[in-house]
């Protein structure tokens, strides 16, 4: 059985780019990781893993992050960093 998509390295790189984007947005807004974690009701260590590209966040988590940073979901998940 073949899979439609099977590129683990590319997925890993994508998560790192999204994490970098989140870190930049957080810096631009002068938010701490604690602030983001408290705002979303999650553990700071989980958010840190998302920023480092270690954890793959759920779609709902991405939606809530977009709301916190006041950006669209599509802008947030775009791997390009356009600021």
Q: Write down the pLDDT at residue 83.
A: 57
Q: Write down the pLDDT at residue 5.
A: 56
User: Which of 1.10.287.110, 2.40.50.660, 3.40.50.620, 1.10.260.40 would CATH assign to domain 32-83?
Assistant: 1.10.260.40
Q: Write down the pLDDT at residue 8.
A: 57
CB atoms within 10 A of CB 25: 21
Q: Write down the pLDDT at residue 1.
A: 45
Q: Write down the pLDDT at residue 79.
A: 75
Answer whether 37's CB lies under 8 Å from 46's CB.
Answer: yes
pLDDT (tens digit, 0 to 9) for every residue of the chain, 83 residues total? 445 555 655 889 999 999 999 999 999 999 999 999 999 999 999 999 999 999 999 999 999 999 999 999 999 998 776 65
The C-alpha atoms of residue 36 and residue 51 are separated, in whole angstroms, by 11
């Amino acid at each position: 059985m073949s899979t439609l998509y099977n590129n683990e390295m590319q997925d890993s790189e994508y998560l790192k780019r999204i994490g970098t984007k989140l870190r930049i947005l957080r810096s631009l807004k002068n938010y701490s990781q604690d602030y983001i974690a408290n705002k979303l009701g999650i553990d700071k260590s989980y958010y840190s893993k998302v920023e480092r590209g270690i954890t793959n966040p759920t779609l709902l988590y991405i939606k809530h992050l977009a709301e916190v940073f006041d950006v669209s979901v599509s802008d947030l998940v775009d791997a390009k960093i356009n600021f």
